[in-house]
Amino acid sequence: MRIARILTNRLAICLFNVIILMITMSTLYQAFKLLFNLTNDFDQIEGILDGISVIFVAYGVALEERDSLMKFFELYPKYWTAVEEATDHFSHFYGLCILLLGLFMEVSVDVVKIPNTILNTEGIEWVVFGIGFFFLILASVLLRRLSYVLLRVRKFVSKVARES
Of residues 64 and 45, more confidence is placed in: 64
The confidence score (pLDDT) of residue 81 equals 93
What whole-number percentage of the chain has pLDDT above 70?
97
CB atoms within 10 A of CB 31: 22
pTM above 0.95, yes or no: no
**Mean pLDDT of the residues in the chain:** 91
The confidence score (pLDDT) of residue 32 equals 81
Residue 159 reports pLDDT greater than 80: yes
Tens digit of pLDDT for each residue in 52-96? 999 999 999 999 999 999 999 999 999 999 999 999 999 999 999
**What is the domain extent for residue 64?**
2-163
CA distance 86 to 39: 48
CB burial of residue 8 (10 Å; 0-12, 13-18, 19+): buried
Tens digit of pLDDT for each residue in 66-77? 999 999 999 999
What whole-number percentage of the chain has pLDDT above 90?
66
CB burial of residue 161 (10 Å; 0-12, 13-18, 19+): exposed
The confidence score (pLDDT) of residue 72 equals 95
Number of domains in the chain: 1
